[in-house]
């Protein structure tokens, strides 16, 4: 299917790298797509079973409906990060990253290919959860464009962060530390399972320092037309964070940090 | 005049306090079959990694067909195919997919497929084309690694220890294919521990020691210069006449090895011994090979 698309010779390089990155996760879709979908659905089943009758975050929005966008976005973010970071650390540990480093691909092309692969993995996982969740709950979308914007920007931000982690980490345990001590706490404490307004004032303030909070809240705003902060603020925080991380990543790639000694 | 395939200008490399390359200068012309020899730690791989863009030089520069490997890396890498020394592979894909990807990174698409078939055929990989890289034997992985470096049909091919741990059959097959590429105009640069390979294949040789090039000449000149022939004489405990000392290479337990540049010198040695009343107990004449040159230049610690 991909072969039939006409490709200009100058973009064939980055396009090939993107295609390879997509095939890489698609070949093991059971692990890279099915597994996170199942995990999200288990969260959904358990939390909605336990809390649906007892908790109502927004007026007239049942807890299960509130939970779904947060779970989708959390999975989008985690999988975007996992895609670029695990691909890079595997290639580094296996040594096969050399095949890409020997090519004329520029640092920008390298970045773009890994970025798009991460975005696509994040969106595929998010879309699957969305489609399955539709069986459980009526999903209403107040502003689909906001949903798309946050899904794209959020996955881009975490995909970029994954590239940084993948370049920085030399071993699998360093990467696991990144996942367990940064990505997991930030995503669980971002308001996926609650509105930050239910927190004590100090933790409300603390949550506002967490960029994951803005991604989850903005994405959820697209569904319900309401959130903890204005979607414009969220969009600015996420957009700006992406630009900063992308700039850092491009600097790292251009200087050859840890890749070309 | 055509530009040189590789031009290395005063390249230095420091790793912390280690001075790994101490001002290497080297020019390799297009179409050459060139060997870079030296013991472990001599700096061969460092030099090749700088050429490939995997390591940055501390000083100096390298150009591939006039394109600087740092400032014009896109053009330089387009012209270069490097076979890494480590046996690395991507476990997600089969051989043909890897070759297509590799060609694709260099901007080559389906029009390159006949060339990929030719590489598969030349390296005996045709029936493994659809086998996952993970399932290949060590020898087959090595072939696939070489194939990947050739996938974009580079005019300059660098093989870093391509036959390390490889069986005789593959070595023969590999060299036949590489010789064919060389005849077709590809420049071949080879580092190897198997000196007989360099001797049999390469027209020119550079020897490195501790980050410097200590010899650079045509293979035949090197062989002539350092030891055209070797004469081993068993003489017992004697003192050689002064006139023979310049030809003496090694003296060990009554066995004297002389390096001769031509056959006439045999008579010179023998008449010198006769005049000094020294009796020859045993005599052996052998052709020198690159190993002798190598050992006499870089010492015995390869």
Q: Mind listing the pLDDT tens digit for each residue in A156-194?
A: 999 999 999 999 999 999 999 999 999 999 998 888 888
- Residues B195 and B204: their CA atoms lie apart, in Å, by 13
- Which segment of A22-26, A83-87, A184-188, B167-171 scores lowest on mean pLDDT? B167-171
A70 in any annotated domain: yes
- Residues A93 and A111: their CA atoms lie apart, in Å, by 19
Q: Do residues A77 and A118 touch, judged by C-beta distance below 8 A?
A: no
**B285 or A142: which carries more pLDDT confidence?**
A142
How many percent of chain A have pLDDT more than 90? 75
Write down the pLDDT at residue B33.
Answer: 95
CB-based contacts of A75, cutoff 8 Å, min separation 6: A36, A37, A39, A40, A122, A125, A126, A129
Alpha helices in chain B (DSSP H): 44-52, 73-78, 95-105, 113-122, 138-150, 168-183, 195-201, 219-227, 264-275, 290-298
Taking contacts as CB-CB distances below 8 angstroms, the residues of chain B near A102 are: 52-54, 77, 80, 82, 84, 149
Token digits of residue B44: 């061969």
Q: Which of B196, B203, B162 is nearest to B34 (CA)?
A: B203
Q: Do residues B248 and B272 touch, judged by C-beta distance below 8 A?
A: no
DSSP state of B162: T
Say whether pLDDT at B223 is over 80: no
Say whether pLDDT at B71 is over 90: yes
Cβ-defined contact of B90 to A101 (cutoff 8 Å): no
Q: Tell me how close the Cα of A9 comes to any Cα of chain B, in angstroms.
A: 5
ipTM of the complex: 0.91
Pick from B75, B92, B107: CB nearest A24: B92
- For residue range A11-31, list pLDDT tens digits in order: 999 999 999 999 999 999 999
- DSSP lists the bridge partners of residue B6 as B28, B64
Mutate to test the interface with A, among B92, B141, B146 (most CBs of A within 10 A): B92
- For residue range B232-274, list pLDDT tens digits in order: 899 888 888 888 888 888 888 888 988 887 778 888 899 889 9
Residue B124, Ramachandran bin (φ over 0: left; ψ between -120 and 50: alpha; else beta): left
- Residues B143 and A98: their CA atoms lie apart, in Å, by 16
Closest Cα in chain B to A10:
B107
Cβ-defined contact of B90 to A19 (cutoff 8 Å): no
For helices A63-94 and A144-168, the axis angle rounded to 10 degrees is 30
Residue A140, Ramachandran bin (φ over 0: left; ψ between -120 and 50: alpha; else beta): beta
- Residues B43 and A181: their CA atoms lie apart, in Å, by 41
Structural domain boundaries, residue A157? 28-255
Cβ-defined contact of A20 to B93 (cutoff 8 Å): yes
Token digits of residue A204: 């409300």
Taking contacts as CB-CB distances below 8 angstroms, the residues of chain B near A12 are: 104, 107-109
A121 in any annotated domain: yes
* CA distance to A209, A261, B13, B222, B269, per residue, from B226 (Å): 73, 38, 30, 6, 18
Cβ-defined contact of B107 to A96 (cutoff 8 Å): no
Q: Residue A80: pLDDT band by 50, 70, 90 thresholds?
A: very high
**Domain covering B6-223 in this structure, CATH number:** 3.40.50.300
Say whether pLDDT at A2 is over 60: no
Say whether pLDDT at A208 is over 80: yes
Instruction: Give the fold, CATH level 3, of B228-298.
Output: Alpha-Beta Plaits (3.30.70)
Write down the pLDDT at residue A74.
Answer: 96
DSSP state of B31: T
Centre a 10 Å sphere on the Cβ of residue B165 and count the other Cβ atoms it contains: 9
Nearest-5° Cα angle at B88, A253 to B137: 165
Closest Cα in chain A to B53:
A102
Cβ-defined contact of A99 to B90 (cutoff 8 Å): yes
Q: Tell me how close the Cα of A12 comes to any Cα of chain B, in angstroms.
A: 5
Residue B280, Ramachandran bin (φ over 0: left; ψ between -120 and 50: alpha; else beta): beta
Report CA B291 to chain centroid distance, whole Å. Answer: 13
Q: Residue B138: pLDDT band by 50, 70, 90 thresholds?
A: confident
Give the CA diameter of chain B. 77
State if pTM tops 0.90: no
A62 in any annotated domain: yes
A63 in any annotated domain: yes
Say whether pLDDT at A76 is over 80: yes
Q: Which of A121, A153, A167 is nearest to A243 (CA)?
A: A153
Cβ-defined contact of A24 to B55 (cutoff 8 Å): no
- Residues B145 and A94: their CA atoms lie apart, in Å, by 14
Domain count for chain A, please give it: 1
DSSP codes joined into one string, B43-72: SHHHHHHHHHTSS--SEEEEEETTEETTTT
Q: Which of A113, A150, A118, A111 is nearest to A235 (CA)?
A: A150
A185 in any annotated domain: yes
Taking contacts as CB-CB distances below 8 angstroms, the residues of chain A near B92 are: 23-24, 27-28
- Residues A246 and A254: their CA atoms lie apart, in Å, by 12
A18 in any annotated domain: no
Say whether pLDDT at B301 is over 50: no
Cβ-defined contact of B101 to A10 (cutoff 8 Å): no
Taking contacts as CB-CB distances below 8 angstroms, the residues of chain A near B50 are: none
Closest Cα in chain B to A17:
B105
Give the CA diameter of chain A. 59
Instruction: Break chain B into its structural domains and give their ranges.
Output: 6-223, 228-298
Q: Helix-strand-coil percent breakdown of chain B, rounded to 5?
A: 40, 30, 35
């Amino acid at each position: 299917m991909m072969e039939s698309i006409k490709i200009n010779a100058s973009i064939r390089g980055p396009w090939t790298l993107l295609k390879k990155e997509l095939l890489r996760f698609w070949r093991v879709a059971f692990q890279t797509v099915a597994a996170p979908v199942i995990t999200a659905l288990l969260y959904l089943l358990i939390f909605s079973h336990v809390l649906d009758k007892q908790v109502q975050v927004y007026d007239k929005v049942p807890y299960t409906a509130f939970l779904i966008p947060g779970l989708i976005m959390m999975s989008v973010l985690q999988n975007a990060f996992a895609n670029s970071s695990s691909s890079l650390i595997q290639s580094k540990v296996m040594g096969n990253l050399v095949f890409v480093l020997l090519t004329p691909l520029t640092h920008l092309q390298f970045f773009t290919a890994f970025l798009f692969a991460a975005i696509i993995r994040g969106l595929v996982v998010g879309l699957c959860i969305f489609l399955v969740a539709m069986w459980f709950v009526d999903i209403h979308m107040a502003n689909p464009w906001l949903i798309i914007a946050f899904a794209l920007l959020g996955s881009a931000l975490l995909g970029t962060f994954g590239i940084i982690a993948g370049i920085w980490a030399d071993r699998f345990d360093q990467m696991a530390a990144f996942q367990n001590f940064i990505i997991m706490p930030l995503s669980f404490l971002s308001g996926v399972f609650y509105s930050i307004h239910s927190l004590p004032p100090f933790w409300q303030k603390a949550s506002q320092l967490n960029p994951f909070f803005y991604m989850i809240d903005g994405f959820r705003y697209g569904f319900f037309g309401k959130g903890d902060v204005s979607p414009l603020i969220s969009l600015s925080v996420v957009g700006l964070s992406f630009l900063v991380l992308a700039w850092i990543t491009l600097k790292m790639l251009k200087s050859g940090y840890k890749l070309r000694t | 005049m055509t530009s040189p395939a590789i031009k290395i200008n005063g390249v230095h490399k420091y790793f912390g306090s280690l001075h790994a390359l101490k001002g290497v200068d080297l020019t390799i012309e297009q179409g050459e079959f060139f060997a870079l020899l030296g013991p472990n730690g001599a700096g061969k791989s460092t030099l090749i990694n700088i050429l490939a863009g995997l390591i940055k030089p501390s000083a100096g520069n390298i150009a591939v067909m006039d394109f600087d490997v740092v400032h014009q890396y896109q053009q330089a890498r387009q012209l270069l195919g490097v076979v890494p020394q480590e046996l690395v592979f991507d476990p997600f894909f089969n051989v043909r997919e890897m070759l297509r990807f590799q060609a694709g990174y260099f901007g080559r698409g389906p029009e390159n497929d006949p060339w990929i078939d030719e590489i598969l055929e030349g390296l005996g990989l045709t029936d493994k084309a659809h086998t996952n890289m993970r399932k290949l034997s060590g020898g087959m992985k090595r072939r696939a690694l070489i194939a990947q470096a050739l996938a974009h049909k580079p005019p300059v091919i660098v093989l870093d220890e391509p036959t390390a741990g490889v069986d005789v059959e593959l070595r023969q097959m590999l060299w036949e294919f590489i010789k064919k590429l060389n005849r077709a105009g590809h420049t071949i640069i080879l580092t190897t521990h198997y000196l007989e390979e360099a001797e049999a294949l390469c027209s020119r040789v550079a020897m490195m020691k501790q980050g410097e090039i200590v010899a650079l000449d045509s293979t035949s000149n090197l062989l002539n210069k350092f030891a055209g022939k070797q004469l081993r004489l068993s003489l017992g405990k004697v003192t050689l006449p002064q006139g023979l000392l310049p030809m003496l290479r090694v003296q060990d337990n009554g066995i004297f090895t002389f390096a001769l540049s031509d056959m006439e010198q045999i008579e010179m040695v023998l008449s010198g011994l006769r005049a000094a009343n020294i009796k020859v107990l045993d005599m052996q004449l052998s052709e020198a090979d690159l190993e002798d040159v190598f050992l006499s230049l870089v010492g015995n610690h390869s």
